[in-house]
Structures are given as structure tokens and as C-alpha cells.
Structure 1
Amino acid sequence: MAAPMAERTAIAAFRSVMDRVRHAAERSGSQLDRIRVVAVSKTKPVSLIRQIYDAGHRCFGENYVQEIIEKAPQLPQDIQWHYIGHLQSNKAKLIVGGVPNLAMVEGVDNQKVANYLDRAISNLGRNPLRVLVQVNTSGEASKSGVDPSNCVELAKHVKFSCPNLLFSGLMTIGMPDYSSTPENFQTLLNCRTEVCKAIGMAEEQCELSMGMSSDFELAIEMGSTNVRIGSTIFGPREYAKKLQ
């Protein structure tokens, strides 16, 4: 169990992050209620997540299927869970069945995983699942995500060929050190323009998930509606065992 000091530190850090989000929104002229903060709790114990929950937060994210299916049943059902990053197609059924309150997958990076998610949702009779298409804006072979030139094709597949998925927008990871430059964010903005034109969607209805602990303020100022913040809230991650 997390020590009380760690819990107090996380709560203070969470409140500081929310203040910074508010100030970034004010600088950019964005509406604060349209910016979602996903508290990414990768490698952190349930007790620490519960402290942030008790402080009033409801949106949490995980990067490993094993972790999210272990943690979700131990926490309140009104949490909105986000799965972040590449999802192996053979684990789509596992995550959909294991996390009834899975709110979003960020993000789908190929048609195969979209099809598997679509089928898993259908088989379980769940309401359609919101998904973001992941775009590799930094051009690194080590990063998941569709090439920007193919984002329209994948978005159209999700939108028109996967009736149990709700295409909700685009996401990007960013640079190697998980900080991004304005060029990375601009690439995602350009993708949104192209995708929305192709599928007949208003740009303000198409979410942009960009920005993490080191660059979320810049991301908000450039139009992000969804920021994923982990270590700035919870402290350094603890890789005691290999997860997948």
C-alpha cells in the first residue's frame, strides 16, 4: 500500500496539474470543460489511484492490459478508464470483457485491432466503444500509430465499417522522450482537418489527444482536448516486473 506521504504528495500534485490545465486553457481561449485530464496510473497501486479518486477525479488511464483488468474491479465503477497506446488484437476481447467501464481506447492503429474490438463489443452486447485513431507524428519506427498519410483511411474504416465503435478523434504519443514539438502537434491538427473533411465530421467534435506530463500545457494551447498525465501526478513509475 502506498505510504500516506506518497498519497498526500499525489493529491497535491494532482491539484497543481489541474491549476496548470486551467491556466493553459485560459491562455488559449479554450473552454475548460472541454479538456479532459487522464490520470495515467501505470505501475501505481490501487490505493494511490483511490486517493486521486477521492479528491474528485474520475478519469484514469493504463498502458498495459494486465494492469487495467486487475485494477478496474478493485475501484469504483464510475471511473472512466482509458486504455492508452498500442493494443494487440488478440487482447481486444480480454480488455473489453474485463473492464466493463472502459470508456475509450487511445488508440487504434490498424484495421485489424479495430475489427477485433468491434467484434468483442458486439459479442458482449455492450454499448459502442469510443476510440481514437493513433497517429505516429514523429515518424519513428519504434512508435505505434498509423502514418499521417494513412490516417484518413483508418478513420474511415472505424467510422463506416465498425458499427460497435465510435470514432471520436485522433491521438499521438510524440517525441522519443515523450515530449513533443509544435510540429508534432501541428501534424495531428492537419490530420484532423483531413479526416473531418473526409468523413463529414465537424472539427470541434473531433477530439485531439496530445500532450503528456512534459508538454501538456503546450498541447492545450495548440488545441488538445485530452491530455494524459502520469508521472507529474503519481511520481516516477516503478517497473518492478515486466507487464504487457
Structure 2
Amino acid sequence: MKDRLIGVNTLYSGMLLEYDILDDYGHILLHKGTLLTTDLIQSLTKTGLTYVRYENAQDEEEKYDWLQKNNFIAFLQQITFLSSDELALVSGINGSAANYLNRTEEWIGRMHNEWFSVHLNILTDDRKQYADSVINRLNGRFAEMYDEGMFYTYEFYYDGIQLLKSLGQAWADTFSSIYTPYPAGTVLTFEEEIDCLVIDVYQDEPDNPLIKPILQVNGSDPYFLKRSEKNLIAVQPLAVVMPDLPEE
């Protein structure tokens, strides 16, 4: 039996745990058989843990099923306001993540076409052709934002807003109602090297997350980003934990 690391950002509401989830000291945080909820995941996020341990009591080959089966959906659920059920409805998304890196742009393209269909369907042919080219650029930008296990969510969000504004504000509004620039678990760095952790995000105001200093001063309470008295100088990329693929 071995302990393995799994990113907190790969857990999602509705996941049925097939293993005990442990902290660094081997203490059980969540038991095997637990059905994860948003509240349980937020509780883990608020501890400041980026990774937790799980007990691998099965054969090595079987571990990939649990990790690969819904990793892509779990990742998208963290950077969007959509549930795993909503994401699974997108054609082709609810499959194996074995070819995740190779198929990212293809999957994202399907999602964007579905999300923006309400706008695409009312365009003239000439305008639709231009819209398709903008969406293709957005898809490519998404793929570019993944680099060596990190996803630059903040940069993708604001690049996406600027791209879609060329098609109209309604397109940008649809985008901002889906994606968040500051997923829970993101580290924000302010002036004087003050680091804060995003502990919650809200769809009606995605650019104003609830944050809390990582090194608490006098037990400081969480507060909203826009209430910060310090200037934001850096947004750390989000760690995307994908399993190593089994050898052929």
C-alpha cells in the first residue's frame, strides 16, 4: 500500500472517494466512500493545502482509472462556474483523460462552440466566419496557457475578455459568466510581499474573490479583493495535477 499525492484542485463536487484522503502527517481528512460536496472541498481549500495524500490500496494499473476518469472535468470545474454535470454534457468531454494534453484544444473548442451558440446562431454568414476565427484564437490561447503543470488562469481570462469584446459585449459577458480569473486556491501577491489565498469566488462578480492572508496577522478575517489597501502585483498560475500515463 502506498500513499500518493493528488491536487485539491482535481477534487470536484459529486466525486465518490475510492480512497481515504490524508494530510501530510497521515491523518485521515476524508474517508473512503465519502461523496464530495462543494462545502467539503472548500474546507480543504481553506486549510491552505495544495496537495493531499490518498491511500493506494489497489493495483498500480487501477490507480489510473480514478485519476484519469474525471481529471479534465475537475480542472474545468475549478476554473469555471459550471458543475461537473454541466461540463459532462459537452460532447466528447466525459471520456478518458489519457490524451488530455493532445486533445485540450479540441475539447475546449467543443465547449466554446456550445457556450457561444446562442450568439453564433443569430449572425450572418460573413460575421459568423469572423466569429469562428475569434473562437479559434480563444481555443488556441487556452492551450498556450498550460505550461509544465501550471495553467495561467488570470492571463487567459483577461485575454479572452479582450478577444471577445471584438464581437460585442454580450460575448464577453457570456465568457465572464463561465470563467473565473481567480479560482479557489489561487495565490495572489500584493505590495510588500503579502501573499493571500483565494478561498471563494462568486459568479456575479468574478473579479472580486474572497481572500485571506496566508500568514495571518492578528487572526485577520477574510476580505474581498477590491477592499485590499495594497496593489495586486502578481497572480500565481494554478497547479494542474495530471497523472503520469501508464507505460505501454
What is the TM-score normalised by the length of structure 1? 0.29
What is the TM-score normalised by the length of structure 2? 0.29
Which of structures 1 and 2 has the larger relative contact order (alpha carbons within 8 angstroms, sep 6+)?
Answer: 1
Larger radius of gyration: 2
The structure with more helix, counted as a fraction of residues: 1
